[in-house]
Structure 1
Amino acid sequence: MTSLAQWFPTGWEPFLLGGIFIGLGVSLLFALTGLIGGISTAYTAVWSLVTRHPFFQHEKFVSTRNWRLMYGLGLILGAVVFTYTLGHGQGFVTKVPLWQLFVGGIIGGFGARMGGGCTSGHGICGVGSGQLPSILAVIIFLSTAIVTAHVVRSLGGF
């Protein structure tokens, strides 16, 4: 039997606290505005400023662009604040080149929009409200991620 320390070497408490804050945040957003707090719509909002392609110009996204951009910015700033306060000032640590992170973000964001949402919208808000399409989407997301990780590992990727 494996110990919790193997899976959570820095402790499980930060993950619980993070989950609680995420749940409170999306619940508050929904309770106050009726809006679902997924991040892929912020991706669409950013692209709607850059391109006039119809895919990125849906009225429901363009008309709510301001709050979506602030939502995405808050996600980034929250990570920065955490990293330099509670994250022991280590900064962002990765062995992945910046260009690969950028390209992966573009591809992943586009795929999330094509799929009608992302793991935060479907996984946190959709599953939390018992929506069958979201439950199915999360099963597909997780299955694909697990298979991809195993394939990459078997090819010596990490």
Structure 2
Amino acid sequence: MLIDVIHFTPGMSLAGGLVIGIAAAVLVLCNGRIAGISGIIGGLLSWPRNDVGWRIAFLTGLIGAPVVASVLGRSTHVDIEAGWGAILAAGFLVGIGTRYASGCTSGHGVCGLSRGSVRSLAATATFMLAGILTVFVQRHLIGG
């Protein structure tokens, strides 16, 4: 295993994880809602829409945070070595997967595991295994 020590930021990663955990805790304690991104977006796309305000506020913060970081001089640039077709196909497949799993990595991995949900443990293990296998196939069988 090779660690890129120049871009290795455990302190910032820990701080980010703490902020995500606090945001998820505040949302569940104040609104009784789970901070699962697919569920938040799904609620905006379903009918009737009676709880739009908090969903839009949450997504605005999610999208706005990198914008604020870049204004403050923090680098938020990420290189993705894929074309728009592959990105759209991947997003579509992730959307289908979140429907089958009844949630996404944020809902199951952050909120479900912290509540001790066995279903979230199974879903998170599946997400992780799929990611590990994808990286293995890409690096060792396809080449990259």
1:51 aligned partner: none
Q: What is the aligned counterpart of 2:10 among 9, 12, 15?
A: 12
In structure 2, distance between residues paired with 1:130 and 1:86: 38
The answer to whether residue 92 in structure 2 is matched with residue 106 in structure 1 is yes
Show CA shifts across 1:41-68 (max 9, x none).
133235x2xxxxxxx44x5xx4334422
Q: What fraction of aligned residue pairs are identical, expressed as a percent?
A: 28
Task: Give the SS at the match of 2:132.
Answer: helix
Tell me, in whole angstroms, the C-alpha distance in 2 between the residues paired with 1:128 and 1:9. Answer: 32
Q: CA deviation at 1:152?
A: 1.6
Q: How far, CA to CA, are the matches of 1:8 and 1:131 in structure 2? A: 35
Deviates more, 1:110-119 or 1:69-78: 69-78
Aligned pair partner of 2:57 in 70, 82, 89: 70
| Cα distance in structure 2, aligned partners of 1:35 and 1:121 | 10
Distance 1:82 1:127 in 2: 29
TM-superposed deviation, 1:91: 3.2
TM-score where L is the length of structure 1? 0.76
SS at match of 1:95: coil
* Corresponding residue pairs, total: 142
What's 1:32 paired with?
30
**Does residue 120 of structure 2 align to residue 128 of structure 1?**
no
Q: 1:111 deviation in Å? A: 1.6
Secondary structure at the aligned position of 2:64 is classed as helix
Aligned to 1:53: none
Q: TM-score, normalised by structure 2?
A: 0.83
Q: Is the 8 A contact 1:123 1:134 kept in 2?
A: yes
C-alpha distance in 1 between matches for 2:74 and 2:129: 30
Contact 1:29 1:37 in 2 (8 A): yes
Unaligned runs of 5+ residues in structure 1 are 49-55
Range 117-126 or range 93-102, more displaced: 93-102
RMSD: 2.4
Equivalent position to 2:40, from 35, 39, 42: 42
Post-superposition, which runs of at least 4 consecutive aligned residues in structure 1 deviate over 4 A?
none
